[in-house]
Amino acid sequence: MKKNWLLKLIIIAIIITVAVCVIISCTNNDNSNSTNTNNDTQQTSTNKSEPVTVSLIAVGDNLLHSTILNDAKTSNGSYNFTPIYAPVAPYIKAADIAFVNQEAPLAGSGYQASGYPLFNSPQQAGLDLVSTGFNVINMANNHALDKGAQAVINTADFWDSVEGVTMLGIARSQDEASEIKTVEVNGVTFAFLSYCYGTNGMPMEYSYLLSLIDMDKIADDIARAKEISDCVIVSMHWGNEYQLTPSAIQREMAQQLADMGVDLVIGHHPHVIEPAEWLTGKGGNHTFVAYSLGNFVSSQHERETMLGGMLSVKFACQDGKVSISEAGIIPLVTHYEHGLHGYRVYRLSDYTDELAARHGISDYDKPVSVKYFEDLSAQVFGQYRIY
């Protein structure tokens, strides 16, 4: 009887031992599977980064004629240009990168503010551009030397004193002229290059003062820019004034820039808008070219000069590769009242027939209407016109 009882105890002990071993084995397998899953997840995260989007807007010529200077002058003799840009400021501030062509030196004290033909804008105009949201300022244009070499140097000194701004196109030394300007956003580096066709016959005391178009030099600059950046953007002050289509030279240069691997070309100078298009470079790359964004603000007297463009670009950045995922142009209208005052810049989508009926341009060129601007922007921008 005792032997049977002992045998039963041994059998029970064996069953318990086997059960415990099975439980431990299953637990270890679960832990192992859990560890492998975590490793797989970690490996995937390491190999594939999260996508990053960077937004850019760009506008054309900030062309401050004497009537605009008079309108911006305050009772105490200072200037305030912010009301001019206020209607579009929210859209500019929303962009990661905001580019404008400042079509005049900002020479500072000792130089009188002036409009056409020899421009010099108050430095307050530069500060107001920055407060509006612009952080990339182009100075390579045909009016850069209107007040001589010292005015160029003063302008560069001024932009140096403004925090958060990248200035393009002028320099105080050969070393500075050779520097590739970059802007970093969310870990993505954008290289900016800028060139101009000429100086309106003004003498250039030092060759480095203004970045002129020279395709051999541009090729070298682009090669160096590609070594230190993820994306190359080129500003071109080019083309024929008041022509709504790019010249053969513009198209030839644009294709050359595409062949050199440029990602984006921002064009200005003609004072009117010109089309945009995608070009394919010889390496199979794709380059978006906006041939002319027209005027951002001006006091010219032709209807078509009142219509500008705001280039809007989205860059998609992932795993070390940057590409343009969206590109289009938002039409802009420069408005002023009869008597050459009340200057404002509006998105065309925000412009009204009531404002058009009051536009001072009708004293020089008419008829003026929302439909006129809509039709012209559709004609020129075509599929790339966006609201």
d(CA 163, CA 104) in angstroms, rounded, equals 20
Q: Which two tokens stand for residue 382?
A: 């075509």
Pairing status of strand 286-293 against strand 273-280: antiparallel
Please check whether residue 57 is in contact with residue 312, taking contact to mean a CB–CB distance below 8 angstroms.
yes
Contacts of 221 (CB under 8 A, 6+ apart): 180, 193
Alpha helices, DSSP H only, in the chain? 2-47, 66-72, 82-85, 89-93, 123-132, 149-160, 174-178, 215-228, 248-259, 353-358, 370-381
SS (H, E, C) 70-132: HHHECCCCCECCHHHHHHHHHHHHCCCEEEEEECCCCCCCCCCCECCCCCECCHHHHHHHHHH
User: Taking the mean position of all CA atoms in its chain, how far away is CA 53?
Assistant: 14
CATH architecture of the domain with range 52-384:
4-Layer Sandwich (3.60)
**Beta bridge partner(s), residue 322:** 317
Give the closest residue to 96 by CA, choosing from 52, 56, 132.
56
pLDDT tens string 115-156? 999 999 999 999 999 999 999 999 999 999 999 999 999 999
Burial string for 212-232 (b: 16+ CB within 10 Å, else e) reads bbeeeebeebbebbbeebbbb
pLDDT tens string 326-361? 999 999 999 999 999 999 999 999 999 999 999 999
Please check whether residue 170 is in contact with residue 147, taking contact to mean a CB–CB distance below 8 angstroms.
no
d(CA 180, CA 135) in angstroms, rounded, equals 16
Alpha helices, DSSP H only, in 229-302? 248-259
The pLDDT of residue 48 is 66
Burial string for 289-318 (b: 16+ CB within 10 Å, else e) reads bbbbbbbbbbbbeebbbbbbbbbbbbbebe
Longest dimension (CA), the chain: 126
SS3 374: helix
Q: Where are the domains of the chain?
A: 1-48, 52-384
Please check whether residue 342 is in contact with residue 335, taking contact to mean a CB–CB distance below 8 angstroms.
yes
The pLDDT of residue 46 is 38
Ramachandran area for residue 126 (φ above 0: left; ψ -120 to 50: alpha; else beta): alpha
d(CA 176, CA 119) in angstroms, rounded, equals 24
pLDDT less than 70: residues of the chain: 1-48
Contacts of 184 (CB under 8 A, 6+ apart): 190
pTM: 0.88
The pLDDT of residue 329 is 98
Q: Which two tokens stand for residue 178?
A: 């050779």
